[in-house]
Structure 1
Amino acid sequence: MSRVYTVAVVGGGIGKSHIVEGYETNKDRLKVIAICDLDPIRRNALADEFGIERRVENFDDLLKMDDLDIIDVCTPPMVHYPMVVAALKAGKHVVCEKPLVGSLAEVDEIIELEKTSRGKLMPVFQYRYGNGIEQVKRIIEAGIAGKPYVGTVETLWRRGPDYYTVPWRGKWKTELGGVLMTHAIHPHDIFTYLMGEPKSLFGRVATRVNAIEVEDCISASLEMESGALASFTATLGSADEISRIRLAFEHVTFESDHEAYNPGKLPWKILPRNDATKAKIEALLADWQDVPSRFQTQMRRFWDALEGLGPMPVTSRDSRRALEIVTAFYHSSETHEEVSFPVTEGHPKYRSWLPEGFR
């Protein structure tokens, strides 16, 4: 019989999506027993909706619950680091929304803490999951795609003044960044998940759409470790909303479904260069089994990892890569210099990418 792990969700915003998509669909393995939120109206409404008895205001109360296995951190970014550290030190497993923390130094501290912690950490990158991206990943890993040539990532979303009425959004100290941190971080993670490690980046950021502190437009040119070239573009001022990822390999070109908030699902375009490659792909995918998108598969694979049935689906090192890209963007835009990876201790923005005056 499958073990059922108990979960507390901290933060009722994106936390509701975790419950609906991730825990309700895996309730034979993961059971939410507590809701923690500072807002009593939201806390009680969410608990009532899903029949959850424990309604907690103080995060520290969760650390004392002996029958609680997992703490799922869905709070504003500025409190991720202390909550993740406290939960790991208390021996809990941890799920944490992006961005994991607010600097590369903090990521590295958590990576060290994980080595001695009884609990395991899974950052959230739910856009990795779905039939489309899973098929592309399978084709690439099978060697059918061949040499990677170039790739493009476009995160063209829309956010206006109403979005920034939420007090913590649009501010360096609380959101920790703009479109790079809160929006494009997902498609950029998909890109490196499929195309591998970046070697260098030259980027620019700008604030052109909204009256906020952080950036809402970005563009960059990258060189990958494989030698492939790439470009990233994002804005929060698009008339429509798409997330488009296009990857050109030696034998196959891939393009994501353009759905802004679920690019992992079908249909991805899979364009083989010739009939021989097409036949290899058809044979590889002949017995395909459904991969549900977003949180449903990520949470299921988290359970698998806890049970020793598979690897952790997303790791703190995956989050480090994502935050290295963020750090490189800000440094390159500020200095007009190309940034080489990895970004390590001694780099000017290793301990914080926030501008002077906001740290």
Structure 2
Amino acid sequence: MDTEVLNVAIIGCGWVADWHVQDGFAHLPKRFNVLACCDRDIERAKQFAERYRVERVVGDLGEVLSMPDVDVVVICTPPALHYSMVVACLRKGKHVVCEKPFVASLAQVDAVIAEEAKSTARVMPIFQYRFGDGLAKVRHVIRSGLAGKHYVSSIDTAKRRDANYYQVEWRGKFATELGGVLLTQAIHIHDVLLWLVGPVQAAACFKTTRVNPIEVEDCAVASLQLHDGSLASLSATLGSARQTTRLRLCFENVTFEKTGHDENSSRPADEPWTVIPRVPELAAAIEQKMAEVAPGSAWFVRQYELFHEALASGAPFPVTLADARASIELVTGLFAASESCCVVEFPIGADHPKYNGWFDAPLYTNDAGA
């Protein structure tokens, strides 16, 4: 396969797919060509194709998988469809990029890992919040050891979702969305936390539904103990008057802080971050360490740049199936802790009662949509 320019098919033509094109592929025309789009609502697919000059429009994933010149399938459908679509793509030898939440259970993640091992194709989950110069510098300092021991972090996700958001039929239901604020909105910031200081050793959680009359949770708080004994607190709501995300990471030698409002609430990796050395003498060393990180692109652009490079070189993807598993494991643990009112220990294996999913509703299985 020629990895110079990869032909892409997008499955599900809603607003998330717009992000992938506008904030990703449109900036990388020498690496990607959006060749096809697919949606069970064919009129929506046609409108998407017109916006982005996409050559082929179809209404069924099977039609896409029969196209020999499609190299990469990008899945932007409702969450309950992800697992079956990822597996179908792997069995046809198509590389897969899949939106969050990756799948509906740890059992499904492990099944995808097994399928990838048998396939000629590979899978990359999407976690675009990771990518930007600010977060890259913070992570570099942490990984260098200069930050010292991690003590405690607090992570706040304050989003706003009103009744009109839930007019889309699949939102707010376990069978189709799989979960609420813990799974759909806060999952990004929680991935950043795990990427910086994870993995998790134990979790406690309370969740509830207070903002909208929906099945899934729209408010939650949680406490985590991490693998090294350090701690983290999480709060999440869909009832904030203003959309805001906050991260505060307290280490032995430095505290890192980032707050984003409105549109910037979805861009925690961007600069600037506030960096507070424990003593003034550390400031120069931290600044020097941050200067070692070369400036680069951000968000979807950077994740897709690294995806292309990894396919060309055989290197690991910038977000891996192990990362997706850690994300789904955290959600599983938080749901289990809330339901049982007990602390849940990690790792969560096949013998755990929530290994096959955190709810019992049947999954929605149409072939495509958004």
Please state whether the residue corresponding to 2:313 is helix, strand or coil: coil
Does 2:8 match 1:7?
Answer: yes
User: 1:41 Cα deviation (Å)?
Assistant: 2.4
User: 1:357 Cα deviation (Å)?
Assistant: 5.5
Correspondence for 2:344 among 318, 339, 345: 339
Q: Distance in 1 between the 2:118 and 2:37 partners? A: 28
User: 1:290 Cα deviation (Å)?
Assistant: 2.1
Q: Are the equivalent residues in 2 in contact too, given 1:257–1:269 (CA < 8 A)?
A: no
Please state whether the residue corresponding to 2:118 is helix, strand or coil: coil
Q: Are the equivalent residues in 1 in contact too, given 2:174–2:361 (CA < 8 A)?
A: no
- Residue number in structure 1 paired with 2:196: 194
Post-superposition CA distance 1:9-55 (Å, at most 9, x none):
11112011101111111111111100111222221111112211101
Q: Are the equivalent residues in 2 in contact too, given 1:127–1:190 (CA < 8 A)?
A: yes
User: 1:278 Cα deviation (Å)?
Assistant: 1.2
The 5 Å alignment of 1:123-162 reads 123-162=125-164
Q: Distance in 1 between the 2:238 and 2:330 partners? A: 19
Correspondence for 1:216 among 215, 218, 223: 218
**Amino acid corresponding to residue 276 of structure 1 in structure 2:** E
The 5 Å alignment of 1:18-33 reads 18-33=20-35
Farther-moved stretch of structure 1 (268-277 vs 243-252):
268-277
The RMSD of aligned alpha carbons is 1.4
Q: Distance in 1 between the 2:4 and 2:286 partners? A: 37
- Overall identity of the aligned pairs, in %: 44
Question: Of the two structures, which has the highest relative contact order with CA contacts closer than 8 Å and spacing of 6 or more?
Answer: 2
**Amino acid corresponding to residue 113 of structure 2 in structure 1:** I
Q: Are the equivalent residues in 1 in contact too, given 2:124–2:319 (CA < 8 A)?
A: yes
Q: Are the equivalent residues in 1 in contact too, given 2:175–2:361 (CA < 8 A)?
A: no
Q: Which runs of 5+ in 1 are unaligned?
A: none
- Residue number in structure 2 paired with 1:272: 277
Instruction: Name the count of aligned residue pairs.
Output: 358
**Amino acid corresponding to residue 312 of structure 1 in structure 2:** F
User: 1:143 Cα deviation (Å)?
Assistant: 1.1
**Amino acid corresponding to residue 75 of structure 1 in structure 2:** T
Does 2:326 match 1:324?
Answer: no
**Amino acid corresponding to residue 274 of structure 1 in structure 2:** V
Please state whether the residue corresponding to 2:353 is helix, strand or coil: coil
**Amino acid corresponding to residue 78 of structure 2 in structure 1:** P
Change (3 A) 1:2 1:87: closer
- Residue number in structure 1 paired with 2:319: 314
**Amino acid corresponding to residue 104 of structure 1 in structure 2:** L
Does 2:107 match 1:120?
Answer: no
Post-superposition CA distance 1:304-346 (Å, at most 9, x none):
1101164210011111111111111111111111001111101
4+ residue runs of structure 1 moved beyond 4 angstroms?
A: 356-359
Q: Distance in 2 between the 1:117 and 1:244 partners? A: 40
Query: What TM-score, normalized by structure 1, do the two folds share?
Result: 0.97
Query: What TM-score, normalized by structure 2, do the two folds share?
Result: 0.94
Q: Are the equivalent residues in 2 in contact too, given 1:93–1:119 (CA < 8 A)?
A: yes
Q: Are the equivalent residues in 2 in contact too, given 1:257–1:265 (CA < 8 A)?
A: no
Q: Are the equivalent residues in 2 in contact too, given 1:2–1:28 (CA < 8 A)?
A: no
Q: Which runs of 5+ in 2 are unaligned?
A: 364-370
Q: Distance in 2 between the 1:130 and 1:357 partners? A: 38
Post-superposition CA distance 1:279-318 (Å, at most 9, x none):
1122223354322221010011000110116421001111
Does 2:240 match 1:235?
Answer: no
Q: Distance in 2 between the 1:190 and 1:135 partners? A: 13
**Amino acid corresponding to residue 40 of structure 2 in structure 1:** L
Please state whether the residue corresponding to 1:41 is helix, strand or coil: helix
Q: Are the equivalent residues in 2 in contact too, given 1:157–1:241 (CA < 8 A)?
A: yes
Q: Distance in 1 between the 2:278 and 2:3 partners? A: 44
